[in-house]
């Protein structure tokens, strides 16, 4: 009983921002988060999730605190219980052209535009977005302090991991399925040995020196 009560209390705290906004009349709330900003390869991926105020999925937390298996299961439950959800990806080529911050913002806006339900408000993890016909509220460390953003972080992470696992089949010598494009030692060694592939971000400093060597 005690673990269940503790989890219920934790989730009630995580939904604190959302509850205040519900009281102010913001019924349809979208959490927005992105993953992959610090990677050397692969897209940056964002998710927007319109959470159901009547449903709370046990176990939802910042995606970085969860195992891969837990994220996959939670992502299924989140999408099944959400009023609406959407995922968007921005490619390495566009990241190189407009920079990673702007690419992250583009992915977030595209995820919001992909919703069939127009939110009354969007809660965004840290990144300030221009108003999209509704307010977008940036929350620093939002995936730790907002249930809706935590839901989005999980959905985005699971989707990007899936993309990187698919990419691994095309470029198996980089180990994308294991490190998901981050600067792991084996990834840096592969870049030294093979140079970048078309899915690498050529404007990132850890990629270019090895491409020019």
User: For the chain, what is the total number of helices (H) and then of strands (E)?
Assistant: 10, 5
Q: What's the sign of the alpha-carbon dihedral 97, 30, 39, 144?
A: positive
pLDDT at residue 1 tops 90: no
Average pLDDT across the chain, whole number: 95
Q: What is the pLDDT of residues 147-174, one digit of tens each?
A: 999 999 999 999 999 999 999 999 999 9
Instruction: Report pLDDT for 210.
Output: 42
Instruction: Give Cβ neighbours of residue 159 (< 8 Å, ≥ 6 apart).
Output: 45, 47, 75, 87, 89
Confidence bin at 208 (pLDDT 50/70/90): confident
pLDDT at residue 212 tops 60: no
Q: What is the pLDDT of residues 56-102, one digit of tens each?
A: 999 999 999 999 999 999 999 999 999 999 999 999 999 999 999 99
Cβ(122)–Cβ(134) below 8 Å = yes
CA–CA separation, 103 and 85 (whole Å): 20
Within 51-91, where are the H helices?
68-81
pLDDT at residue 141 tops 80: yes
Instruction: Give Cβ neighbours of residue 100 (< 8 Å, ≥ 6 apart).
Output: 37, 44, 201
CA–CA separation, 46 and 160 (whole Å): 9
**Residue percentage of the chain with pLDDT more than 70:** 98
What domains lie within the chain, and their CATH numbers?
Answer: 2-165 (3.30.420.10)
């Amino acid at each position: 009983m005690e673990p269940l009560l503790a989890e219920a209390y934790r989730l009630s705290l995580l939904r604190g921002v959302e509850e205040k906004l519900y009281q102010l009349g913001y019924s349809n709330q979208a959490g927005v988060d992105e993953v992959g900003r610090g990677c050397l390869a692969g897209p940056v991926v964002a998710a927007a999730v319109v959470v159901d105020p009547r449903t709370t999925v046990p176990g939802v937390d910042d995606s970085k605190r969860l195992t891969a298996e837990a994220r996959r299961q939670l992502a299924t439950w989140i999408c099944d219980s959400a009023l609406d959800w959407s995922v968007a990806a921005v490619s390495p080529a566009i990241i190189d052209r407009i920079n990673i911050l702007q690419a992250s913002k583009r992915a977030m806006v595209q995820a919001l535009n992909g919703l069939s339900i127009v939110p009354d408000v969007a809660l965004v993890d840290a990144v300030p977005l221009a108003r999209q016909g509704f307010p977008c509220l940036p929350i620093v460390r939002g995936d730790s302090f907002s249930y809706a953003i935590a839901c989005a972080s999980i959905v985005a992470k699971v989707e990007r991991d899936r993309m990187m696992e698919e990419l691994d089949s095309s470029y198996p010598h980089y180990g994308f399925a294991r490190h998901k494009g981050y600067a792991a030692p084996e990834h840096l060694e592969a870049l030294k040995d093979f140079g970048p592939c078309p899915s690498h971000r050529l404007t990132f400093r850890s990629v270019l020196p090895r491409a020019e060597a």
